[in-house]
Structure 1
């Protein structure tokens, strides 16, 4: 169902993005930006592959991620440069306008992409992410969150792990926090087993070269553009609090929030049917 190729997006330094895409009309292109960063796009293929034919679904790996170019200097991994790559990728897609879905960290990059090239984006989906900053006390008193996130915290503090091994171990240890429904966990772990993890962005973070991905004043600027925005969120998300989706919808007239019940950060894994219905309905 997917065709895969490398797309050159930068000459200095040379950067090629690994891109998977489904069949579908060019004028119904959905560009999907994965999170992590240091993950690849593959954990998002399902259920989005079901849009194939009606939409052309395009899933790149960001620079330093998955099967895209790695080995760059640490200061070459920034949200601004990742956004520049995606603007260049848009030029290769043969579509004057695209819809954009950004998931988790990718939701922050997606907002940057819209603000960098608003004339190229028809609609924006911010999935399991946030336009507004997360308050430091957002999860105070949620004991189950503390318990579920403890295994991942232990992995990040393990001095014996580094690079892609650390990223993979943290993703696996964090699965119980990111997936709310226990019955969905085995299939999610199988999905992670096939993912291509890296440690490139972690190098930038450790070197102090990784700026925040959150665009300053994003809510006001997105509101001024008037682009339709879907804020798609799991009720039990333990990374980005669900309350921020409703708050953002009040601030941006062109935005609406859809909250998926009994779903965590990986809402598309917990509730693939309702999640995909929300995406398809918004894009129709």
Structure 2
């Protein structure tokens, strides 16, 4: 399916750039980064027979810049977008950082959420020793860490870090992923508060207990070799459906696009029973 593109005012001076496919049942897809745009997620979600709504977060891609950046403000923008699009209730798919924003939105406005997919992200905190002993991961992640400690600034910092981290983010589809990265419009609006230590955590407090109390179907969709959010955290969430894809890393939708979208389709159609 093809995407239509528009800029939609959501509140005050804030407008979000949005790509959409045609369809009736809406799926709001929240990208990660956060200083990326949505483009690396356009495929394979465009294969869904749904109204896929893919916004750029505030300050990201082609959305408006803002004076302040917090997870709660981003969630407010997304709720404003649903209002502007006359969407009373949507399925949510949050990827990586967007997975935590998706949890936050679900907890803030559960009546607006039909179901939640947390993809390549985590409900539980990542402990400091979560990857202990995984020497391959340590070596691959070192290149990106060095970029963040460099003198680069602005979008060039975000872009360079993304390319340096590419071998750690996919398990077997590096050439495909690199082509996707060349299309991403990187920004650097969220870096300031992050470096200053003023950016609040995106993961909601007590998310596990609070999400378990909601009557909302949840899918955890993960790559077994994710080097950002360990796959071991998935099995610890008893109330959600869980799909862990073999031969896939953090960008599981790039490594295993068919299996990834099949898991999404099954969950959205009939997979609402915890497993």
Shorter chain as denominator, the TM-score bin is: over 0.9
User: Which residue pairs with 1:270 in the alignment?
Assistant: 255
Deviation at 1:93, TM superposition (A): 2.3
Distance in 2, matches of 1:10 and 1:204, equals: 22
User: Which residue pairs with 2:222 in the alignment?
Assistant: 233
Of 55-64 and 86-95, more deviation after overlay is shown by 86-95
What are the within-5 Å matches in structure 2 for residues 85-96 of structure 1?
85-96=77-88
Distance in 1, matches of 2:103 and 2:221, equals: 14
1:100-136 CA distances to partner (integer Å, 9 max, x unpaired)? 0000000000001001110011000000000010011
Deviation at 1:207, TM superposition (A): 2.9
User: Which residue pairs with 1:247 in the alignment?
Assistant: 236
Distance in 2, matches of 1:228 and 1:78, equals: 26
User: Which residue pairs with 1:139 in the alignment?
Assistant: 131
Secondary structure class of the residue paired with 2:18: strand
- Indicate yes or no: 2:197 matched with 1:197: no
1:168-219 CA distances to partner (integer Å, 9 max, x unpaired)? 00000100000011xx111111110011000000012123321111100111
Match of 1:261 among 223, 246, 249: 246
User: Which residue pairs with 1:68 in the alignment?
Assistant: 63
User: Which residue pairs with 2:7 in the alignment?
Assistant: 6
Deviation at 1:80, TM superposition (A): 0.7
RMSD: 0.8
More helix by share: 1
Match of 2:155 among 161, 164, 173: 164
Distance in 1, matches of 2:120 and 2:219, equals: 11
Distance in 2, matches of 1:206 and 1:150, equals: 19
Figure out how many residues of one structure are paired with residues of the other and give that number: 268
Distance in 1, matches of 2:212 and 2:198, equals: 30
- Indicate yes or no: 2:176 matched with 1:187: yes
Distance in 1, matches of 2:85 and 2:213, equals: 27
Please report the TM-score for the alignment, with normalisation by the length of structure 2.
0.96
Deviation at 1:96, TM superposition (A): 2.2
Secondary structure class of the residue paired with 1:281: helix
Secondary structure class of the residue paired with 2:107: helix
Secondary structure class of the residue paired with 1:148: helix
User: Which residue pairs with 2:21 in the alignment?
Assistant: 22
Q: Is the 8 A contact 2:9 2:84 kept in 1?
A: no
Distance in 2, matches of 1:282 and 1:166, equals: 37
Secondary structure class of the residue paired with 1:199: coil
1:226-282 CA distances to partner (integer Å, 9 max, x unpaired)? 20000000000000010111101x2xx2x1110000100000000000000000111
Question: Structure 2: which 5+ residue stretches go unaligned?
Answer: 270-275
Secondary structure class of the residue paired with 1:158: coil
Distance in 2, matches of 1:278 and 1:268, equals: 11
Please report the TM-score for the alignment, with normalisation by the length of structure 1.
0.93
Distance in 1, matches of 2:141 and 2:47, equals: 31
